[in-house]
Amino acid sequence: MTNVALKNNNNTRRIHPQVFALWMGFLSIIMMFIALTSAYIVKQAAGNWLEFVIPNSFYVSTAVILISSLTLHLSYSSFKKGKEFLYKSMLVVTLILACVFIIMQYKGWFTLFEGGVDMKGNPSGSFFYLITGLHAAHILGGIAALVVALLHAFTLPFKPTEKRRVRFSLVLQYWHFVDILWIYLFTFLLFI
């Protein structure tokens, strides 16, 4: 798969087209969650709204995903500096943290369900499951990207070429994005 168009990028623009395309993707994901969170606000204002305490494992998962962003960033800068060991090990750590995040979310849903907050019934519960679930789906996409990055790291010879840097930075930016998205959603669900 040769990307014919990119060779034509003769304009001296700093943004790589693929990175830009990714940002456009962020925009559409943001719109989707804006729609859900504004529907949440409207619904809440209409009354009949169940208030519940968010289980602790969601706090844990928030910490986990924050750390995972840092480890992935460390991996990326090590890749650029040519530190092979740190690059590979931090990538593995990130993938593990990502899986821990999903597990913590799952545990959180379970605690919530056992505490009597069902997906059916009051819309506040339905919204909580829908918003966190849809975010988890985006994390799964991120995990898939991390797996690809990991395969690159362990099957290809270590050579920090520009092409591989761009690819890795796509994974990095997506991961930072779903991290920030979670921080937004979590604070939203916590305070609103």
Partner 1 sequence: MAELEKVHEEDILIEKLGYDDHFHDHHHGDKYQSNFINHYIFSMDHKIIARQFLITGIIWAFIGAAMSIIFRLQLGFPEADFQWLKPLLGKWIVVENGIGSLAPEFYYALVTMHGTILVFFVLTAGLSGTFSNLLIPLQLGARDMASPFLNMLSYWFFFTAGIVMFYSLFISTGPFSGGWTAYPPLSALPQASTGSGTGMTLWVVSLVLFVVSVLLGGINYVTTVLNLRTKGMTLWRMPLTIWAFFVTAILGILSFPVLASGFFMLTMDRAMGTSFFLSEIFIQGQALDRIGGSPVLYQHLFWFLGHPEVYIIILPAMGLVSEVLSVHARKPIFGYKAMVLSILAIGFLSFIVWAHHMFMSGVNPFISNFFVVFTLIIAVPSAVKVFNWITTIYGGNLRLNTPMLFAIGFVSMFISGGLTGIFLGNSAIDIQLHDTYFVVAHFHIVMGVAAFFGMFAGIYHWYPRMFGRFMSETMGKIHFWGTMIGAYAIFWPMHYIGMAGVPRRYYRFDGFDAFKHFTELNQFITIAAIITFGVQVLFMVNFFYSIWKGKKQTKRNPWGATTLEWSSPIEGVHGNWEGKIPTVHRWAYDYNKDEREFVPQYIPMEEGEEHGEDMH
Nearest-approach distance from CB 70 to partner 1, in angstroms? 28
Burial classification of residue 153, based on how many CB atoms lie within 10 Å of its CB (0-12 exposed, 13-18 middle, 19 or more buried): buried
Nearest-approach distance from CB 170 to partner 1, in angstroms? 11
Nearer to partner 1, 37 or 111 (CB): 37
Nearer to partner 1, 123 or 160 (CB): 123
Nearer to partner 1, 84 or 118 (CB): 118
Burial classification of residue 114, based on how many CB atoms lie within 10 Å of its CB (0-12 exposed, 13-18 middle, 19 or more buried): exposed
Name the DSSP class of 122: S
Nearer to partner 1, 87 or 128 (CB): 128
Nearer to partner 1, 90 or 149 (CB): 149
Length of the chain: 192
Sign for the CA dihedral angle at 109, 115, 117, 121 comes to positive
Provide the binding-site residues for partner 1, judged by CB under 8 A: 1-11, 13, 15, 17-18, 20-21, 24-25, 27-29, 31-36, 39, 42-43, 46, 48, 119-123, 126, 130, 134
Nearest-approach distance from CB 128 to partner 1, in angstroms? 11
Nearest 5°: CA angle at 28, between 24 and 144?
Answer: 80
Nearest-approach distance from CB 191 to partner 1, in angstroms? 21
Nearest-approach distance from CB 119 to partner 1, in angstroms? 6
Here the tokens at position 74 are 């460390």
CA atoms of 135 and 145, how far apart (whole Å): 15
